[in-house]
Each structure stands twice: as C-alpha cells, then as structure tokens.
Amino acid sequence: MALLSEGEIGQLVLAAEKEIESASTPEELSTLKIKYVGRSGILTLALRGLKDISPEDRPKVGQALNSAKVSLEEKIDARTSELEAAARKTARGFFDHTLPGTPYFLGHPHPLVQVNREIVRIFNFMGFETATGPEIETDYYNFEALNFPKDHPARDMWDTFYLQDSELLLRTHTSPVQARVFEKRKPPIKILAPGRVYRHEAINARSYYTFLQIEGFYVDADVSFADLKGVLHAFVSAFYGDVKTRFRPSFFPFTEPSAEMDISCTICGGKGCSVCKYEGWLEILGCGMIHPQVFRNVGYDPEVWRGYAFGLGVDRIAMQKYRIDDIRLFYENDLRFLEQF
C-alpha cells in the first residue's frame, strides 16, 4: 500500500462516506467495511506502512489514519443498524403510534325506539306491566275476538295485508294483545303492549304502511271513563309538558263508548299545517271502555268486570315531540336525519 498524505486520507474518507450513504443493504456495508477497515483494508494497510515514513511525519499521518479508521467504522456500523431496523419494521408491518386514530362511528337507538321506551317508562311508572303479541296474527285475534264478525263493514276501517292463507294477516293494530292476555289471565290486569303494526294504506306525510303502536288496557271491578281520561292526561303532561288535549267521540267495535284523543299541534302551534291537516290538532290515540262482547268472547263476566283500553300511535307522538313534519323521515334511514337524535 502506497503511503497516503493527509490530503489523500481526507479524500479517501469523503469517497468512503458517499459509498456508505448510498449502500442499501447490510451486505453492501459489510463489503465496504472489509474494503476500508478489514484486516487487508485500505486504512489497515496504510497504518501498517507507517513505519516506512519519516519519524517527523509519522505522528500526524498516524493520527489522521487512526481517526479516519474509527470514524468510518462507526459510520458503517450506524448505517448497518439503520438498515436492519428498517428491514425489521417492514417485515412486521409498520405501525406509527404517533398517527391520529381512525374515529369509530357510534350508533344509538332510532328516534322511534327512544320515544317508544320513554312512553313505556311513563306507563310502567303508573303501574302498567308490559306484554307482547305476534306481528303475524290470526283473523280471530285481530278481528273476531274484538267484536268484528266476518264480513262486518268495520273491518274496512283498516286495509289489511293478508298472508296467502287468509286466516293469517299482518296485525293492523296492537289490540289483539288484549284478547290474548284476557284468555290467559284473570282481572285485575293492567297491561301495556307495544309493537309494530301494518296497514295497506296510502302513504303521506302523517301515515305510513307500518308504524308503532302502544296498547294499554286496565280491567278491574270498578274502572270508569274518568280513570281512562286521568291516565291519558297524566301521560300527555309527563311526556309533552304543557299541550292542550281534546277527546272526540269515535267508533271502534271493541270499545263502547269510544273516543279519539287529539293534542294541539306542536309543529304549527295550533295554527294549521300539513301535519295536522290544517286543523291545529293531531290525533294521537284511539280509546274507550272495553265492549261487553269482547269480555264475553274471552269468558269474562261483563256484569262483574269493567275495563278501558287505548292505542297510541308512537310515530305521530314522536313527530309532535320533535316537530317532524313527515313520517317518512323515520323510515328512510338517512343518517343526516337519524344522527340528530
């Protein structure tokens, strides 16, 4: 190995550093290590040749060669560790802890479910226990037991979805739960029956082909229409606070007398809008005193027992609570709407 001057050592170091920088694998670096600082490497041989130079130049050149050797060795080792660490990360799948996380979308109950739960909670508080019935119902429980004989014109009150077997249908209201419970239990009973119902009817801003109802009924020895009004007023003021109510006479084959309850429209403040059909009032439920024939059909003595029943429309109640002017919004599943609740 020819002797190197200090300037040549500097140039050699610069050239070696470039090679180290551009090496892309630990193997390439290992070759460079052998080339420069290995047992027969350029710098090792140059150090061995020190003995041949003049004693006055020897310390300076010796020092330059030594520090070049140490520095290149360090640089090669550092770059090797860097490349090995990068290779390990790629092999494992790199995970950067400093990146912000991916936000999770948190769901919540549908507004109709929320309103349904709130109504059930209020009536449970007034002593009603909860019962359920099937959505695919028999003609008997949906109609006959409730005093709608076959071919009775009152069946036209609700356009019914029949299943292929015409004895089975999608229940048009939750009132069949009355007959189902009466058959199994003896008074006194105080029941709340929430559930989905179906009607083959025209869809518009306030009516849909499926909606939620909540049936309530109370049978005991001494139950009056005043009790019915009292319980419904208590519900309306617990749920809405301050709204006006009115009872209108109505007809249902399974109650006598029958009524419908309206509340003053919260959307237009009673002035009239498309939801209240420009009347200022919105019907939220049907109700009445249970017809003696319904009691006879289930083996209760109408001379002994009296009862009231009511059927609330949950969708209409939710519309009034949240001032929603179209029932279809509940069923379109548009997240921009649903996320508001």
DSSP state of 128: P
| Local structure of 301: helix, strand or coil | coil
What is the 8-class DSSP label of residue 130? E
Shortest distance (Å) from residue 147 CB to ligand FA5 = 11
Q: Provide the H-helix boundaries in 23-98.
A: 26-37, 42-48, 58-92
Q: For residues 79 and 173, which CB has a smaller minimum distance to ligand FA5 in the complex?
A: 173
Q: Which is nearer to ligand FA5, 36 or 198 (CB)?
A: 198
**Nearer CB in complex with ligand FA5: 44/293:** 293
Least spacing, CB of residue 100 vs ligand FA5, in Å:
44
For the bound state, the minimum distance from the C-beta of residue 319 to ligand FA5, rounded and expressed in Å, comes to 9
Report the C-alpha gap between 12 and 3 in whole angstroms. Answer: 13
Q: What is the smallest separation between the CB atom of 113 and ligand FA5, expressed in angstroms? A: 16
Instruction: For residue 44, give both structure tokens.
Output: 């090792």
Q: What share of the chain is helix, strand, coil (3-state, %, to 5)?
A: 45, 20, 35
Name the closest residue to ligand FA5 (Cβ).
313
Closer residue to ligand FA5 in complex, CB, 44/250: 250
Beta-carbon-side half-sphere exposure of residue 189 (alpha carbons within 13 Å):
21
What's the closest the beta carbon of residue 275 comes to ligand FA5, in angstroms? 11
* CA 162 to the chain's CA centroid: 32
Shortest Å, Cβ 213 to ligand FA5? 5
For residues 198 and 172, the answer to whether their CB atoms sit within 8 Å is: yes
Q: Distance between CA 230 and CA 295 in Å, rounded?
A: 23
| Closest to ligand FA5 by CB, 46 or 267 | 267
Query: Closest distance between ligand FA5 and the C-beta of residue 173, in Å?
Result: 3
The pair of three-digit structure tokens given for residue 61, joined into one six-digit string: 């050149």
CA dist 260 and 311 (Å) reads: 9
End-to-end CA distance of the chain: 84
Kindly list the residues in this chain that would bind ligand FA5 in the complex (CB under 6 A): 173, 175, 199, 201, 207-208, 211, 213, 215, 252, 255, 258, 283-288, 309-311, 313, 315-316, 327
Select 49 or 134, whichever has its Cβ closest to ligand FA5: 134
> Which lies closer to ligand FA5 via its Cβ, residue 61 or residue 284?
284
